[in-house]
Structure 1
């Protein structure tokens, strides 16, 4: 689903510096999506709130509440993320466009039912001694987020990229402005502002999808057909999101690194700020990911498999295969180069950045290792993306399981080693997983012709 990547590449063909900035700027915004931009928006709301009438304790409660909303909603929606993406891609390939929208409606109903059920349980168990309004707003925000993530699956297939950027801008501008206007109502006011912003994002993107994929019925559940479901994709989506949050959850609930904030929700002040700041650094790398991996590799992939399907000569098939390997290698190298340069620049400016936003420079060592960790995680994402194209579902499950298990084990070990080693568990887990992924991807390419022709013969 690299349609938008091809549209952005048309901008690059104009061959000017301004067009280069435009293409990669748009790619960075679109590929980062609500996940990274939410971090920026929420932190901006928190910083501005401190300068208004909102108490510092309520701002902290807001930031922690939103962090839990993000963590749980992303992990829950991971059940559908990859499996529904694959289902939609298959329907597009078979020109069954009219059943996509009804099935998206079906997915939204399933997601809503699951999020409401889980949210009601959380309201009872995790939020004792909190106001009814706070609980209702947490539930509403959770349901909206759980439905927003599946909708963003379609962003990379839409060619109306300027509309997407405008919607992102309006959505988060609405969240920030509404939170500031309602800040006099404290924690509940800030949560209401965020709800308005994410609701605008959801309904705007949903409207865009309706225009692009008109349906033939209101609601369908074809995506739940067992013959069209790949359990490995469900496991991959769930395990990857769980792995990303595993170290954070351990720090939240380890008695030496956390404290209670609101209800039973806990946070780790020493760990949370640097890691979430570090995630903002992947925007340049994500832009390269969209333009190079989701465009150049998709094109090389099509050339190879079209040659196989059409019975081209073995020499040409090998040529297309070599081209695909080179494009994958160059794409990963481009991400490494751009993200590496970003990390180096942030290393130089880290002290000024932390000082400017009012964070103690004592966080610098942790911020440094977190920058490295999230950058390696981006490389892991690029490797997994190539493996998804090659339909290596089992390998991706293995990588996600390795990432999840190693993040838990190494984080627990580094906590016991002391504050000087905080963050090294997460960075070590991403490094082990990425290196393993590179090795497995190399093996996959070596066996590609054999596996392709064996499958053709079945």
Structure 2
């Protein structure tokens, strides 16, 4: 995140309202762009296709198919996202930028092969009743989206934030436009339009990456050298992404809440819409999270470790530690405050949205629960980010593994308790994980000098 953090700090130093608004706008798009724009794009494609696509169920089939593509691609690439981020950060610190692009090529090649094989097997054996075109586009979409998550790692560290924001806008604009133009070809047309838009987005990402990280080599697999590979970070990425989707999969697969849509894919109307609407409130919270973490916290973090490496005074080191802790507290408070405002605004229009989508207002309580869970998810991300900076990998594995297990267990219990408890599994899993995470952050910050000097002396 160093690149975007540098640009955000430059905007905030302008000390103007416009500079502050631009900083938070860029942070919101980059921090939550893939999530929120995917949701908005899927919803818009569904709306513009109603009454045109025949049969009408094809619209739902498209939305569910894309949702599964996003979910499985995130879980699959989650094993590499953090590990690769750490590899890139270490090589930049060592001033060995020439190693980054070749290893990106290696990771991309690996992701393409694995995602392609898995998607091909799924298309051949799980969708025998669908057309050849549908299955071919399904495989291509899964490969492209999987590579987008890997490419996003590079974009978050580059200084070309204006190009990044423009790229996201163009990519998802083309997704909606292509789906609109091809909607006459029903399900296959909608999915092909999605593929065209996502391919455009990935192509733009690759152009920015090639320009930002020049190298004479194209492909390398040094990331998987035991000197530079962190299995703990691979587990963290897997546990977190699986944890985020665990409750959704459970509701989809349960006979009382889910229903078949296409092939083996199922959906849950009573759960999916409130969940997706709640994620629209992510933008302001993610903007605050990114600005706070990549401006104030990183500044004090850098000062702290620079002083440690260069023999700074103990009083200065302690002051920087205290400033880091204060920034974490203020940042989390601001995240909760801004998420509460976003939740209230969404609740005020929820009645109209539910009426437009033909959903009973009985599900409004579930939306409120999911909005609270979304706020905690942003806080959980902030906690994970802090421990990533502090290199506390065991704690990261503990927190994300606990989150996954609790979400599965609590969601299964909520299904047994009945509709009035739907959504509380996800909320309680995050509440426990966040509570433990905050305690561990406080504990780690209190022992930071001891841990730092012990590690340094070892």
TM-score per shorter chain, which class?
over 0.9
Moved more, 43-52 or 11-20: 11-20
Report what 2:237 is aligned to. Answer: 237
Report what 1:118 is aligned to. Answer: 118
Report what 1:267 is aligned to. Answer: 267
Report what 1:430 is aligned to. Answer: 430
Matches within 5 A, 1:363-442: 363-442=363-442
Report what 2:278 is aligned to. Answer: 278
* Count of residues in correspondence between the two structures: 458
Listed one character per residue, the Cα deviations across residues 59-81 of structure 1 (whole Å, up to 9, x for unaligned) are 01001101110110000000100
Q: Give distance in 2, aligned partners of 1:397 and 1:442.
A: 18
Contact conserved, 2:103 with 2:220, CA < 8 A, in 1? yes
Q: Give distance in 2, aligned partners of 1:239 and 1:434.
A: 15
Provide the secondary structure at the position in 1 that maps to 2:298. helix
Report what 2:74 is aligned to. Answer: 74
Contact conserved, 2:53 with 2:59, CA < 8 A, in 1? no
Contact conserved, 2:8 with 2:295, CA < 8 A, in 1? no
Report what 1:179 is aligned to. Answer: 179
Listed one character per residue, the Cα deviations across residues 11-68 of structure 1 (whole Å, up to 9, x for unaligned) are 2333333333222112111111322211111111111111434432000100110111
Contact conserved, 2:304 with 2:321, CA < 8 A, in 1? yes
Report what 1:444 is aligned to. Answer: 444
Report what 1:326 is aligned to. Answer: 326
Contact conserved, 1:99 with 1:216, CA < 8 A, in 2? no
Q: Give distance in 1, aligned partners of 2:294 and 2:103.
A: 24
Contact conserved, 2:183 with 2:190, CA < 8 A, in 1? yes
Matches within 5 A, 1:210-249: 210-249=210-249
Provide the secondary structure at the position in 1 that maps to 2:184. helix
Q: Give distance in 2, aligned partners of 1:2 and 1:355.
A: 44
Contact conserved, 1:123 with 1:139, CA < 8 A, in 2? yes
Contact conserved, 2:53 with 2:185, CA < 8 A, in 1? no
Q: Give distance in 2, aligned partners of 1:148 and 1:5.
A: 21
Matches within 5 A, 1:39-54: 39-54=39-54
Matches within 5 A, 1:151-162: 151-162=151-162
Q: Give distance in 2, aligned partners of 1:11 and 1:383.
A: 25
Q: Give distance in 1, aligned partners of 2:93 and 2:356.
A: 50
Provide the secondary structure at the position in 2 that maps to 1:260. strand
Contact conserved, 2:171 with 2:198, CA < 8 A, in 1? yes
Query: Where do 5+ consecutive residues of structure 2 fail to align?
Result: none
Deviation at 1:185, TM superposition (A): 0.3
Contact conserved, 1:33 with 1:152, CA < 8 A, in 2? no
Q: Give distance in 1, aligned partners of 2:5 and 2:166.
A: 17
TM-score normalized with structure 1 length = 0.97
Q: Give distance in 1, aligned partners of 2:11 and 2:309.
A: 32
Provide the secondary structure at the position in 2 that maps to 1:227. coil
Q: Give distance in 2, aligned partners of 1:152 and 1:292.
A: 20
Deviation at 1:190, TM superposition (A): 0.4
Q: Give distance in 1, aligned partners of 2:51 and 2:198.
A: 23
Report what 1:200 is aligned to. Answer: 200
TM-score normalized with structure 2 length = 0.97
Listed one character per residue, the Cα deviations across residues 392-442 of structure 1 (whole Å, up to 9, x for unaligned) are 111011011111001001101111111111111111111111111101111
Contact conserved, 2:335 with 2:375, CA < 8 A, in 1? no
Q: Give distance in 2, aligned partners of 1:390 and 1:17.
A: 33
Q: Give distance in 2, aligned partners of 1:80 and 1:167.
A: 24
Q: Give distance in 1, aligned partners of 2:445 and 2:89.
A: 23
Report what 1:29 is aligned to. Answer: 29
Moved more, 20-29 or 258-267: 20-29
Query: Where do 5+ consecutive residues of structure 1 fail to align?
Result: none
Report what 1:148 is aligned to. Answer: 148
